[in-house]
Amino acid sequence: MSLNRRQARELAFQFLYGHLAIAAPAPKAAELRHTDFELFAENFESKSDEFAWELAEGTGKNLPALDAQIGKLSTNWRIERMPRVDLTVLRLAAFEILFRPDIPKTVSINEAIELAKRFGAEDSAAFVNGLLDKIAKPS
């Protein structure tokens, strides 16, 4: 069964959280393996989704640029102190906003807010929304 894009984002988020959130706050570009992703995807009772893998792989490969942008625009939180769920959601959505022009920025932001509501703390959605709005605005 193929995943819809929301499910694919959730799969990518959970894979990234499991692989990146336990690492140092700002790891170098992560070399995520597709075979690890395929094994992880089996837990979702679906085949590995290509869109989900593109998001996970792209986020991993671009971590330094994503973390630099997130850190630069976050005025009250240093990246090292951000909750891991929020940081993972921000990294994933920032990748979509900055590196996937085929995805409307508003869609990326709205999907990130939904992930933050589902997996984050009470104030995660507002935090994610505010920071992603800054990332999405042209410099």
For the chain, domain boundaries: 5-136
Which two three-digit tokens encode residue 89?
Answer: 């959601």
Q: Contact 134/73 with Cβ under 8 angstroms? A: yes
Which pLDDT score is estimated for 23? 56
**pLDDT class of 2 with cuts at 50, 70, 90:** low
End-to-end CA separation in angstroms for the chain: 41
CATH code of the region 5-136: 1.10.940.10
Handedness of CA 46, 48, 49, 51 (dihedral sign): positive
Which pLDDT score is estimated for 30? 60
Alpha helices in 46-123 (DSSP H): 50-61, 63-73, 84-99, 105-119
Does the pLDDT at position 85 exceed 90? yes
Which pLDDT score is estimated for 29? 54
Calculate the CA dihedral of residues 30, 66, 128, 41 and round it to 10 degrees.
-30
Overall average pLDDT of the 78-94 stretch: 94
Q: What digits encode the pLDDT tens for the residues 19-61?
A: 876 554 445 556 677 777 777 777 665 555 789 989 999 999 9
Q: Which one has a higher pLDDT value, 120 or 15?
A: 120
Does the pLDDT at position 68 exceed 60? yes
